[in-house]
Amino acid sequence: MLNLLKTHFGFDRFLPLQEEIIRWVLAGKDALVLMPTGGGKSLCYQLPALMMPGLTLVISPLIALMKDQVDSLKANGIPAEFINSTLSYAAINKIQRQAQAEGIKILYAAPERLILPEFQHFLKKIKVSLMAIDESHCISEWGHDFRPDYRNLKMLRDIFPEVPALALTATATQKVREDIISQLSLDQAKIFISSFNRPNLAYTVLPKKDSYDQLIELLRRHQNEAAIIYCFSRKDTEHLAADLRNEGFKALSYHAGLEGEARRTNQEKFIRDEVQIIVATIAFGMGIDKPDVRLVIHYSLPKSIEGYYQETGRAGRDGLPSQCVLFYSYADSIKQQYFIRQIEDETERKNTYRKLEQMVEYCELATCRRHHLLSYFGEDDQPEKCQGCDVCLSTEEEFDATKISQKIISAIIRTGGRFGLGYIIDVLRGAKNKKILERDHHKLSVYGIVNDFSKEDLRHIISQLISRKLIIKGGDEYPILELSPRGRDFLKQREKICLPKLKSSVQSPQPSEALATEYDMELFEKLRLLRKKIADEKRVPPFVVFGDLALRQMALYLPQSEEKFSRISGVGEEKLKQYGQVFTEVIQTYARENNLREKDIPVKRSATPRRLSHLGPTYQETKKLLLKKKSIEEMARMRSLSVGTIAAHIEKLVRSGEKIDLGYLRPPVEKFKEIKAAFQKIGGTALSPVREMLGGQVSYEELRIARLLIKS
């Protein structure tokens, strides 16, 4: 197994659960696999396919996903094909003849094809050793992405009663899991549940205020990196994509209303790095195998936690640091409630309301977002602080919320504990709406007693009081606010309470970093251009040639021989044969021109980058030179590294708690004052706007050091 893993996929060891699942499948047993996006689900059927006789049949929901996976498999020297509606009758016939002659190891097909008698007839003629059902949550009406065609999968068990079935999904609640097992007759299946935690993703929720300006700032921070922006409606996607193009970004829209050809073209341009930004409805993404999406933005409120988790899961599939930002406004939930009220089936309507409420609750959290997400999927044993979401890393000030909390609670009591959040806010702010006047609530002592907080502020405060159990949210379609026993005690005993202020701007946490700052960025860009050129020639997406992780490792270790190059993550025999020489030539030339040396590559690597639990020898070398009071330029020269890499080392050392005197690196007094004033003016820690403000006269390295000194 390990030999095949290295030869075909270029990895030296398995990710968690992969080997266990593969052994189970090779023993001919059914399994249900829950594994987050980027966790390596595909390998759980792709590797057994190489070890089993006959063919592995994979049911996959979207055409683009099939094509990307088949391209990747072929690039790794594995005979694979797909059958779907994009192929001509002659092309399908040719593939079916290949399959009958046992010339294909993995065959992808869409679920709707199973109802075609001719396809059923074809299946009965081939030797199928394994059935894999990808995105298996689509079979459940309780899931967030139910597809009726998936119910056709029952007939696979009739055609192949003895063949093991492997159902795979990244998102499934307990109810959905039970439904998958029932629908696919997986009664004897073993359930493998990997952690839903994606440590390389950072989660942020921001108030939807000046959101366009904040969006532009985010996209500029991620210049030239792939981003997906999710919007509520088709019209929103088109307008926003046009606005972004006017700002100079390469952006296209994607939604179900576009003509098929336009959808395919836009998706293809994004996958092939010809466009950096896709603005989409939720119709986009499930069929995308692009591993290097660095930013997923929800510009509108998602409909459910499951949908949100799956959509954010499209970021950082290669394991490298990526960000997930959600712009939240309660007005978005009001908009969705209008559409939910149109649902005629009462059970479905209530279920949809409940999912929306859970999403609102997530947005209004005052506790760790990652912990909340993982608890939702049944992982309650995770730390309550992740240091990778905006709540955990918040440095927002608190304010004395005692008086405003007393006013809110009094308003709930005076109105009888029978009204929802919006009504209570209207009473407190003195709104002259018809219902308040009809009920004589304008005569209450609490009417109009709040004029120093906006509606959004009050929503935020009430959410905090709910999370602290002072207020209870009851009811179903029309939730009401009631006072809890804890709330009564708070009022009676005149307790003091402090709450965090509402965030007002982009202050996204940085996800856990690995290979994020060490590699040579100039060489990485050269390798990226080479990858794009090869990909265009072969008419495949760039990640099919190599993923970003492989390029970062090349730009870090500078491998200049076949043996060293073969140690890079993702380099198997086929890719070594095809690309080894051309990539090592570029690395050799760059190393020679910049007087750089090849570095040792650990033989054993994870398929995804490690989180640095302690700082390795390269940082310790920089630390020794810092203690000797060497300048950044001297350190760079002595270590044959760029000044940017040295500056990044210093930041990492300080962040990890190392006590180092950086005073000797401080810019001259007047310059330092200017830098400090610029940071204060922009109100954040981003380097580019500060450098711009200073007319580009200060280097990024000086800004990084100044930023550290300002913080200390």
Residue that terminates a domain, selected from 500, 530, 554: 500
The token duo for 386 is: 């992740």
Collect the ranges in the chain with pLDDT lower than 70.
142-145, 283-288, 395-396, 475-477, 502-517, 603-616, 655-656, 682-689, 712
User: Is 507 part of any domain?
Assistant: no
User: Is 608 part of any domain?
Assistant: no
The dihedral through the CA atoms of 387, 646, 700, 229 has a sign that is: negative
Shared domain for 476 and 542, answered yes or no, is no
The dihedral through the CA atoms of 640, 643, 649, 653 has a sign that is: positive
User: Is 462 part of any domain?
Assistant: yes
Contact 384, 368 (CB under 8 A): yes
Shared domain for 669 and 543, answered yes or no, is no
What pLDDT is recorded for position 513?
44
Shared domain for 69 and 168, answered yes or no, is yes
Shared domain for 160 and 13, answered yes or no, is yes
Shared domain for 210 and 179, answered yes or no, is no
Name the amino acid, one letter, at 63: I
CATH of the domain at 365: 3.40.50.300
Neighbours of 537 (CB within 10 A): 9
Helix orientation angle between 548-557 and 521-538, rounded to the nearest 10 degrees: 140
Radius of gyration (C-alpha) of the chain in whole angstroms = 28
Domain count along the chain: 5
Q: In the chain, what is the greatest distance between 2 CA atoms, to the nearest angstrom? A: 85
CATH of the domain at 704: 1.10.10.1390
Angle, vertex CA 119, rays to CA 118 and CA 122, nearest 5:
90
Shared domain for 703 and 574, answered yes or no, is no
| Element (DSSP H or E) covering residue 292 | none
What φ, ψ does residue 689 adopt, rounded to 5°?
-65, -30
Angle, vertex CA 582, rays to CA 581 and CA 587, nearest 5:
95
113-137 as b/e: b if 16+ CB within 10 A: bbeeeeeeebbeebebbbbbbbbbb
Contact 119, 133 (CB under 8 A): no
Distances (CA, A) of 497 to 400, 410, 452, 461, 482: 6, 15, 18, 11, 19
Shared domain for 212 and 289, answered yes or no, is yes
Q: Which domain holds residue 297?
A: 201-338+356-376
User: Is 324 part of any domain?
Assistant: yes
User: Is 510 part of any domain?
Assistant: no
User: Is 86 part of any domain?
Assistant: yes
Name the amino acid, one letter, at 104: I
The token duo for 459 is: 């929503």
Shared domain for 402 and 525, answered yes or no, is no
What pLDDT is recorded for position 604?
46
CATH of the domain at 583: 1.10.150.80
Shared domain for 27 and 136, answered yes or no, is yes
What φ, ψ does residue 427 adopt, rounded to 5°?
-65, -50
Shared domain for 225 and 102, answered yes or no, is no
Shared domain for 215 and 283, answered yes or no, is yes
CATH of the domain at 425: 1.10.10.10
Shared domain for 330 and 224, answered yes or no, is yes
DSSP state of 389: B
Report the DSSP beta bridge partners of residue 472.
482
DSSP state of 553: H
The dihedral through the CA atoms of 21, 26, 27, 31 has a sign that is: positive
User: Is 599 part of any domain?
Assistant: no
User: Is 181 part of any domain?
Assistant: yes
